[in-house]
């Protein structure tokens, strides 16, 4: 059952400290610290207070990265999340402007996201042979299309009662509320993925969907739940985005799906499924957020971040696929064989002495 | 006698619904007629039809490369990034009056060549990383999309090539010029021959159907994959030059999100996302289908803000209908076998 998951269930090998550092998550932590140090060197205004103040602008994307990690671990993809953000932000704006009390607005926003995610899940489980990429491409265009139609010719709407939004945009001590939301959500998702049977099922489906089905896992049910979760988290993300933009327009949440997938992949989750964990994705998400803030504070052309994210993405995947290539494996096997031969020789020699 | 006749009709009907290209063509004709009647006979004018092709030349052109990529079981979402980078490069060259001494027709060819070469290099890099580095296509091209789009922004340095800057070059693609049509016709003819009668085309299909079997039967899978992504890159570069020419401007954010249109056109045309299935003719029909819908909506009375919504519904409807017909076909063949 080890297979593609890279985790043997009956036996977990011991991991030395060196191996822990050399693992992908260890490397990510080092890169993260590197980014912080680099940001501090590049500009004096890269202080913890400034970083935390700038954070809410970018932080909420990490909320979507968590369910996206689930989807990628299942070996699938959802490119409609950005449009769900747009649609739920639009609906929330209209609801808020209609004079509905704020707690109900939040519920309406979450319900919108939930419904969008459930639609994805329904189509994909009703016709399981459809590729997720093309279905979510269709819903991506539809969700944004609904937002465009309801926003009308102007293409934007602003949230009138902005005081309500400040409740969510407030800070507890130095930390913005969004930060706590990300941490709490991350803890829940990480625990679900690594400590519950639901998480195990995700790995099983990602490793081999047919085998998982025959093993008694209700694949359709799991997929439906995960896609619905992605919709829900997108709606939560939309709420936090409203606290910084005070309104929605047709480009709200554009390209979020790509940013989020980049976070997950940079965090070590393979798009082929069955591999990776959310801890890596979380650190990768914070790394990208801090990189953005550092570049923004230095007035560097913010589009440079595109090139950096792109290169990070390609290089990180390239490294992991090269280390798993035949060349390296052969060398490792050879070393292991030499070692065991030595041991055997020693064992043979001992009784003779 | 009678049963034979109904059998014949049934088999004819099955042929119609079983073949994706034929059924798509029938739907297209039907749609064309309906839209023409609804718009009061203004749709079937020559000018309108050429307009449809001109406005969708980029999608149609790139869908050819995407066909190849999808046939091998891969995907390329970096195409608009490459398009923006190559288009922006030649746009800036024109802005800075490079090659101003070269006579105009030659200059146009030169700029097209430069854009295509840039695209080819970008595509080649993609191909190497995917084939030799064993990186999954969607991740590699996602990264490449960021890199080339970002490069387009960086080289542009917050400026853009205006209609005045690209004067002369834009004559090639302006309304009434035959340039874009010639490129489209040549490209489609070349790809039709390539995919139908060349060894390379057969190899692409073989890899898409079963990569391992293709490798064992002596096909150099890596080399074909690199070639496929390089061709895709070259077409994106060419589309970059064409975009500058048709829209008479070069901006770093041009054609954002168009890669999904290209993929959608292929999928509507019956190209399978898992590889091995799809034809040039189907891709052309898929592209035209998409283009007609886009053009028809305003004529039917829907505002342009409705376009995206309708587009999404059509994509979903097409893929779902595809799956449903395939299921019923499978059931029917199974039932026949049981008898």
Hey, which residues does A158 pair with through a beta bridge?
A247
**pLDDT at residue A225, rounded to an integer:** 95
**pLDDT at residue A1, rounded to an integer:** 42
Q: Do B135 and A270 touch (CB under 8 A)?
A: no
For residue B130, give the chain A residue with the closest CA.
Answer: A318
Q: Judged by CB atoms within 8 Å, which residues 115-144 of B form the interface with A?
A: 129, 133-136, 138-140, 142-144
Chain centre distance of CA B98:
31
The H or E element containing residue B88 is helix B79-95
ipTM for the whole complex: 0.80
Q: Which of B142, B149, B315 faces A262 most closely, judged by CB atoms?
A: B142
Are A321 and B135 in contact, with CB atoms under 8 Å apart? yes
pLDDT at B16 over 70: no
The H or E element containing residue B163 is none
Residue that is written with structure tokens 């993609």 in the block: B126
Higher-pLDDT residue of B222, A21: B222
- Tell me how long chain A is: 353
| Rounded average pLDDT over B169-190 | 84
**Distance (Å) from the C-alpha of residue A155 to the closest C-alpha of chain B?**
9
| Rounded average pLDDT over B180-200 | 90
Mean pLDDT lowest among A52-56, B98-102, B214-218, B310-314: B98-102
| Rounded average pLDDT over B302-321 | 82
C-alpha neighbours within 13 Å on the C-beta side of residue B261: 22
Q: Do B147 and A304 touch (CB under 8 A)?
A: no
Higher-pLDDT residue of B4, B65: B65
Are A92 and A239 in contact, with CB atoms under 8 Å apart? yes
Q: Judged by CB atoms within 8 Å, which residues 287-326 of A form the interface with B?
A: 301, 303-314, 317-318, 321-322, 325
**Distance (Å) from the C-alpha of residue B285 to the closest C-alpha of chain A?**
18
A-chain residues within 8 Å CB-CB of B135?
314, 317-318, 321
Q: How far apart are the first and last CA of chain A?
A: 43
Q: Judged by CB atoms within 8 Å, which residues 158-217 of A form the interface with B?
A: none
**pLDDT at residue B236, rounded to an integer:** 94
Q: Do A321 and B320 touch (CB under 8 A)?
A: no
Q: Which of B154, B311, B312 faces A307 most closely, judged by CB atoms?
A: B154
Are B69 and B208 in contact, with CB atoms under 8 Å apart? no
Taking all residues of chain B, what is their mean pLDDT, rounded to a whole number? 84
Mean pLDDT lowest among A291-300, B51-60, B72-81, B144-153: A291-300
Report the SS3 class of residue B176. coil
| Rounded average pLDDT over B83-93 | 91
Q: Do B146 and A307 touch (CB under 8 A)?
A: yes
The most confident of A53-57, A325-329, B41-45, B182-186, by mean pLDDT: B182-186
B-chain residues within 8 Å CB-CB of A71?
none
pLDDT at B301 over 90: no
B-chain residues within 8 Å CB-CB of A142?
308-309, 312-313, 316
Q: Do A123 and B316 touch (CB under 8 A)?
A: yes
Q: Judged by CB atoms within 8 Å, which residues 139-158 of A form the interface with B?
A: 139-146, 148-149, 152-153
Neighbours of B249 (CB within 10 A): 18
**pLDDT at residue A11, rounded to an integer:** 46
The H or E element containing residue B168 is none
**Distance (Å) from the C-alpha of residue B268 to the closest C-alpha of chain A?**
10
Give the strand pairing for A175-176 and A171-172. antiparallel
Q: Do B273 and A134 touch (CB under 8 A)?
A: yes
Neighbours of B6 (CB within 10 A): 9
Chosen from A303, A311, A324, A327 to mutate, greatest number of chain B CBs within 10 A: A303
Q: Which of B129, B145, B312 faces A139 most closely, judged by CB atoms?
A: B312
Per-residue pLDDT tens digits of chain A, which is 353 residues long: 444 545 544 444 555 666 666 677 778 888 888 888 888 887 777 788 878 887 877 888 899 999 999 999 998 999 899 999 999 999 999 998 888 888 899 999 999 999 999 999 999 999 888 888 889 988 998 999 999 888 887 778 888 877 777 777 777 777 888 888 899 999 999 999 989 999 999 999 999 889 999 999 999 999 999 999 999 999 999 998 888 888 888 888 888 888 898 889 888 888 888 888 888 899 999 988 888 888 877 777 667 888 888 888 888 888 877 776 666 667 777 777 888 888 777 777 766 55
* Cα–Cα distances in angstroms (integers) from residue A209 to residues A74, A351, B304, in the given order: 8, 52, 41
Q: Judged by CB atoms within 8 Å, which residues 202-261 of B form the interface with A?
A: 252, 257, 260
Per-residue confidence band for B332, with pLDDT thresholds at 50, 70 and 90: confident
**Distance (Å) from the C-alpha of residue B46 to the closest C-alpha of chain A?**
31
**pLDDT at residue A23, rounded to an integer:** 74
Are A94 and A243 in contact, with CB atoms under 8 Å apart? no
CA-only gyration radius of chain B, Å: 22
For residue A152, give the chain B residue with the closest CA.
Answer: B305
The domain ranges of chain B are 46-256+271-279
Q: Mind giving me the DSSP string for B137-156? A: HHHHHHHHHHHHHHHHHHHH
Q: Which of B140, B145, B306 faces A149 most closely, judged by CB atoms?
A: B306
Q: At what angle do helices B221-247 and B104-131 cross, to 10 degrees?
A: 140
Instruction: Please give the DSSP secondary-structure letter assigned to residue B250.
Output: B
The beta strands (E) that lie in chain A are given as 156-158, 171-172, 175-176, 247-249
Q: Do A272 and B323 touch (CB under 8 A)?
A: no
Instruction: Please give the DSSP secondary-structure letter assigned to residue A248.
Output: E
**pLDDT at residue A36, rounded to an integer:** 85
Task: Give the number of A-B residue pairs with CB atoms closer than 8 Å.
Answer: 143
Instruction: Please give the DSSP secondary-structure letter assigned to residue A249.
Output: E
Q: Do A134 and B263 touch (CB under 8 A)?
A: yes
Q: Do A271 and B313 touch (CB under 8 A)?
A: no
Q: Do B147 and A131 touch (CB under 8 A)?
A: no
CA-only gyration radius of chain A, Å: 23
Q: Which of B260, B305, B324 faces A137 most closely, judged by CB atoms?
A: B260
pTM over 0.90: no
């Amino acid at each position: 059952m080890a297979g593609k998951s890279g985790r043997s269930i009956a036996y977990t090998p011991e991991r030395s400290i060196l191996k822990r550092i050399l693992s992908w998550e260890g490397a990510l932590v080092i890169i993260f610290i590197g980014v912080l140090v680099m940001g501090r060197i590049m500009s004096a205004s890269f202080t913890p207070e400034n970083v935390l103040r700038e954070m809410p602008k970018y932080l909420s994307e990490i909320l979507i990265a968590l369910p996206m990690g689930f989807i990628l671990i299942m070996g699938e993809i959802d490119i409609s999340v950005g449009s769900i953000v747009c649609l739920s932000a639009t609906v929330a704006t209209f609801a808020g402007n209609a004079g509905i009390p704020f707690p109900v607005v939040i519920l309406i926003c979450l319900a919108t996201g939930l419904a969008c995610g459930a639609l994805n899940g329904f189509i994909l489980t009703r016709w399981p042979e459809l590729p997720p990429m093309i279905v979510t491409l269709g819903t991506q265009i539809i969700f944004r299309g609904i937002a465009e139609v309801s926003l009308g010719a102007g293409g934007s709407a602003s949230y009138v009662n902005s005081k309500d939004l400040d409740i969510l945009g407030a800070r507890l001590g130095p930390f913005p509320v969004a930060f706590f939301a990300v941490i709490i959500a991350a803890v829940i998702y990480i625990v679900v993925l690594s400590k519950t049977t639901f998480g195990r099922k995700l790995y099983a489906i990602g490793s081999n969907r047919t085998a998982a089905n025959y093993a008694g896992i209700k694949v359709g049910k799991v997929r439906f739940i995960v896609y619905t979760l992605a919709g829900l988290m997108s709606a939560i993300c939309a709420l936090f985005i409203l606290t910084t933009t005070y309104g929605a327009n047709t480009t709200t949440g554009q390209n979020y799906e790509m940013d989020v997938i980049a976070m997950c992949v940079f965090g070590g989750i393979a798009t082929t499924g069955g591999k990776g964990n959310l801890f890596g994705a979380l650190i990768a998400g914070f790394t990208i957020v801090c990189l953005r803030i550092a570049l923004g504070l230095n007035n560097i052309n913010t589009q440079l971040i595109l090139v950096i994210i792109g290169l990070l993405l390609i290089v990180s995947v390239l490294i992991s696929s090269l280390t798993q290539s035949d060349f390296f494996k052969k060398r490792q096997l050879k070393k292991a064989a030499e070692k065991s031969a030595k041991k055997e020789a020693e064992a043979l020699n001992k009784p003779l002495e | 006698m009678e049963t034979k006749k109904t059998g014949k009709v049934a088999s004819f009907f099955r042929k119609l619904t079983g073949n994706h290209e034929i059924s798509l063509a029938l739907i297209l004709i039907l749609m064309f007629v309906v839209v023409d009647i609804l718009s009061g006979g203004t749709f079937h004018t020559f000018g309108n039809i050429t307009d449809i092709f001109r406005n969708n030349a980029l999608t149609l052109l790139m869908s050819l490369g995407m066909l190849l990529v999808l046939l091998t079981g891969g995907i390329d979402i970096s195409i608009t990034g490459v398009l923006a980078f190559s288009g922006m490069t030649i746009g800036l060259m024109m802005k800075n009056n490079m090659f101003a001494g070269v006579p105009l027709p030659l200059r146009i060819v030169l700029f097209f060549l430069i854009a295509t070469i840039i695209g080819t290099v970008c595509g080649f890099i993609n191909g190497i990383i995917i084939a030799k580095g064993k990186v999954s296509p969607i991740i590699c091209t996602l990264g490449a999309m960021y890199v080339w789009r970002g490069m387009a922004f960086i080289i542009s340095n917050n400026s853009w090539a205006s209609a005045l800057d690209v004067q002369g070059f834009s004559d090639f693609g302006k309304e009434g010029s035959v340039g874009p049509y010639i490129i489209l016709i040549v490209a489609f003819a070349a790809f039709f021959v390539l995919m139908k009668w060349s060894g390379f085309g057969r190899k692409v299909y073989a890899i898409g159907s079963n990569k391992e079997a293709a490798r064992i039967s002596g096909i150099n899978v890596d080399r074909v994959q690199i070639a496929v992504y390089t061709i895709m890159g070259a077409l994106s570069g060419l589309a970059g030059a064409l975009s500058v020419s048709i829209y008479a401007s070069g901006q770093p954010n041009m054609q954002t999100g168009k890669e999904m249109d290209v993929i959608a056109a292929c999928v509507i045309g019956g190209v399978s996302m898992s590889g091995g299935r799809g034809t040039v003719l189907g891709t052309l029909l898929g592209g035209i289908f998409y283009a007609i819908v886009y053009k028809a909506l305003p004529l039917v009375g829907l505002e342009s803000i409705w376009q995206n919504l309708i587009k999404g519904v059509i994509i979903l409807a097409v893929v779902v209908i595809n799956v449903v017909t395939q299921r019923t076909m499978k059931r029917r063949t199974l039932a026949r076998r049981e008898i």
